[in-house]
Amino acid sequence: MVQNKFYALWAKKPKIDEPEQIIPLQTHLKKTADEAENLWETWLPKALQKQIDRQMLIFLAYAHDLGKASPAFQTRPGYNIPDTDEKTCRNLERAGFLLNGCRDMDRKHTPHALVSYGILKRNGFNDSVSVIVGGHHGAPPSTGQINSLRRSEWDSYSGFNNETWEQAQDELLEEALKAAGLTKTEATTKIISRPVQVLYSGLVILADWIASSEEPVELPTMWQAHKSDDVYKQRFQIDTPRPVQSALLEAVKAASSPGIFIVEAPMGEGKTEAALAAAEMLAGKAF
């Protein structure tokens, strides 16, 4: 299959019957990957950048909707838009994608996020990676869903029993790797811990939401911790910190790792301001 057949695969249909407003699948995948990269570069705190691999994030953002390259999704009817629906099906059949009566299928067993999961698993990805694309609508696939995806009767819905559909899915996967600058070996040997899976999932969901929005999305400016010694003046208009306040700040500055600081002082010595200043200084440290 040649790459130009991807033109037939769609990601978003308009809410009015205007076929020219169809958003191609490749366009949406690339835009989501671009938004994920932008989030990493401009919005992610340094501490999280150390946990989130930039290339892996771009790959996951591109790969999140690979499951839309399936009969189950591509034959979904739109918002009462018969002309647009008919055009998408004609384009698919013209490009060589077999539909085999899929227009009337029961799609509940093959949602596109689950098919995305299946595509990565078929290509040798670790479950800790595949589950992120499988859960990009808010919940990771359950054991029951995964087992149902493997049932042969659903293969025609996911495209897993057809060379043309599988080839399209795998070529889009290669596009995702290329966009991220990763080799397949690098990506398939990656194992992601559960806490970090949550971080990746949140960022992929956010990137997808931004890329899917019909209106411009302007995220608030990322909060920046104040790191200099005049934090008391900048935050609380305190020109001369009390001894306990200065002592806590020095202890935080000397810390080589995160920890708990206990402050004991009489009432009125500024413990609240000291605690807030210390928390901000800790947030700004690159441990």
Q: What is the pLDDT of residues 178-212, one digit of tens each?
A: 999 999 999 999 999 999 999 999 999 999 999 99
Asked if pLDDT for residue 1 goes beyond 50, the answer is: no
Identify whether residues 112 and 242 lie together within a single domain.
no
pLDDT confidence of residue 203: 97
pLDDT confidence of residue 115: 94
Between residues 225 and 176, the one the model is more confident about:
176
In a domain, 217, yes or no: no
- Which of 34-48, 135-149, 222-236 has the highest average model confidence (pLDDT)? 34-48
What amino acid occupies position 209?
W
Q: Which helix (H) or strand (E) holds 202?
A: helix 194-212
CB 207 within 8 A of CB 39: yes
pLDDT confidence of residue 4: 65
Its domain, for residue 264, covers: 231-284
Contact residues for 119 (Cβ-Cβ < 8 A; gap 6+):
63, 66, 67, 169, 170, 173
In a domain, 223, yes or no: no
pLDDT confidence of residue 153: 60
Q: How many domains does the chain have?
A: 2
Asked if pLDDT for residue 90 goes beyond 70, the answer is: yes
Range with lowest mean pLDDT among 85-94, 146-155, 235-244: 146-155
Identify whether residues 135 and 275 lie together within a single domain.
no
Query: pLDDT digits over 141-166, tens only?
Result: 878 887 777 665 667 788 888 899 99
pLDDT confidence of residue 54: 97
Identify whether residues 132 and 186 lie together within a single domain.
yes
**Which CATH number fits the domain that encloses residue 42?**
1.10.3210.30
Asked if pLDDT for residue 29 goes beyond 90, the answer is: yes
Asked if pLDDT for residue 225 goes beyond 80, the answer is: no
In a domain, 250, yes or no: yes
Identify whether residues 103 and 236 lie together within a single domain.
no
Q: State the Cα–Cα distance between residues 67 and 89, nearest whole angstrom.
A: 17
Segment 29-57 mean pLDDT: 94
Strands (E), 17-122: 23-24
In a domain, 221, yes or no: no
